[in-house]
Every structure is written in structure tokens, then in C-alpha cells.
Structure 1
Amino acid sequence: MGLKLKTVILECSHIHQLSSFYSDFLGWPIVFKEENFIRLQSPESDMGIAVQYAEDYVAPVWPSESEKQQMMVHLDFGVKDKKELAEWVDRAIKSGAKHAEMQYGDGEWITMIDPAGHPFCIVVWD
């Protein structure tokens, strides 16, 4: 019996906004919904992303700064080439994300910020 990662859970103060963003950006349907928790699932697998309400949520600062809310995790989404990278960055922006002010990938990845302030990257994977 193997262990598989099933769901990555992101906290936020507006779960409908964040779940709508990831559903639109990824094209993943919402498969579970309750008052403080919404789960989306990939149509190709059982991998999911969920958003969970946190009353005192504070968005992380990226890149990290001393004495500020630290990022606990970020997501990487892989694409096959730089053309797809540009297409997915455009799709992320149209869905509600923004470019992170600081970029470190030399064009191999782009760091984005979701509507709740979570950084995520779109990465060219060989």
C-alpha cells in the first residue's frame, strides 16, 4: 500500500473567492463544499486543492521579510515549454492572480500571487 498526496489545503478569509480562482485557473471542478471548506479535484486524478476559512488569516509576504507573515508553502504547476508558460501566466492573470514583484526564475518559471496572497509558480519542466 502506497501513500499518496491527496489534497493541499490553503487557508484564507474568503473561501469562495479563492476556490473560484483555482477552479477557473486550473479548470478543476468543486467536488466538496461546506461552510468553511471547499475542495477542487483534478479531472485527470484524485489530486485536489482545498481552501479552508481562517478567521484571522494574514496573507504571506513574498519574498519573505523579517517580522512579517511568512509563506508556509507554495504550489508549483508544470508546463512543457516557454510558450505554455506564457499561456498559463495569462490564464492565471485572467482568473485573478497577479505577477509577484520579485522574479527569480530567469524565464524558466514565473512566480504569481493568488487572490488570497499565496505565491505559486508556473514552471517549465523538462
Structure 2
Amino acid sequence: MGLRFSDVCIDAHDTHALASWWSRVLGWPAEDTDDGDVALRAPAAAGPDWLFLAVPEEKVVKNRIHFDFTPEDQDAEVARVLELGARRVDIGQGDESWVVLADPEGNEFCILAAP
């Protein structure tokens, strides 16, 4: 018996708005689930699906886990994601090669330097 990593579950105050935002960032389709959640379906070999779960409270502390994305062009991707509504976040990272951003509900993620 083994385990398969199938979903990343993300608590969201507004599941449809946050899933729609990430759908635009990632280019993955969003769909409502039978349970009332919203899923982003990952393309083949792109990793697990993302499942947005409704919670009543807003995010109030720094994430204990976050996403890292490796772009072909870091500056272009940072600009694109900022234009979509992300914001820069200072979590004490200092002057590093990655850029820390937050989605519309405040979940931190990093855009790494291009390889």
C-alpha cells in the first residue's frame, strides 16, 4: 500500500475569488467540486491539483508552508503576477535571489531566480 500526493489544500475566505486568481497565475482550469470546494486541475506532470476549502476566518500569521515557482524570466513573472494583484512581502528574507509575494488573501509564495 502506498500514498499518492493528489491535492494541495488551501484554506480560503473566498474560495472562488482565490481559486480564480491562482487559475490566472498558473493557467490551470478551475472547477467547482461536489463538496462545494473549488479545484484547480494540474496539467499532466505539473504536480498535484490545488483544492480551495472555505474557512470563515482570514489569514493572520505567516505561512508554515509555501510555494516556490521557478520561471524562465524572474523579472517578467514578478511583474505579471504583481499586475494580477499579488503584493510584495517582507518576511525578513533580506537581499536574496528570490522574490517573496503574497496572493490576494495574504498567502506567501516565492518566485525564484531563473535557472
Q: 1:74 aligns with which of 59, 66, 78?
A: 66
8 Å CA contact 1:103–1:110 kept in 2: the answer is: no
2:39 equivalent to 1:47: no
Partner of 1:86, secondary structure, is helix
TM-score (norm 1): 0.75
Distance 1:112 1:88 in 2: 11
Identify the residue that residue 10 of structure 1 maps to in structure 2.
Answer: 10
Q: Is contact 2:74–2:114 with CA below 8 Å preserved after alignment?
A: no
Structure 1's unaligned 5+ residue stretches are 63-70
Which residue pairs with 1:89 in the alignment? 78
2:81 counterpart of 1:100? no
The letter for the 2-side match of 1:54 is: V
Q: Work out the percentage of aligned pairs sharing the same amino acid.
A: 27
TM superposition score normalised by structure 2? 0.81
Match of 1:21 in 2: 21
Tell me: CA distance 1:101–1:34, structure 2 relative to 1, closer, same or farther (3 Å): farther
Whole-Å separation in 2 of the counterparts to 1:4 and 1:85: 31
Structure 1 residue ranges (4+ consecutive) displaced by more than 6 angstroms after TM superposition = none
Q: Distance in 2 between matches of 1:88 and 1:37?
A: 28
Q: Provide the residue aligned with 2:102 in structure 1.
A: 113
> Residues 6 and 34 of structure 1: is their aligned pair in 2 closer, same or farther, counting only changes over 3 Å?
same
Q: How many residues align structurally?
A: 114
Q: What is the alpha-carbon distance in structure 1 between the residues aligned to residue 41 and residue 17 of structure 2? A: 17
RMSD: 2.4
Residue by residue, what CA displacement relative to the aligned partner does 1:56-85 show, whole Å, maximum 9, x if unpaired?
Answer: x231334xxxxxxxx2321111224xxx11
User: Which residue number corresponds to residue 60 of structure 2?
Assistant: 60
Q: Residues 105 and 9 from structure 1, CA distance in 2 versus in 1: closer, same or farther, beyond 3 angstroms?
A: farther
Please state which structure has a larger fraction of its residues in strand: 1
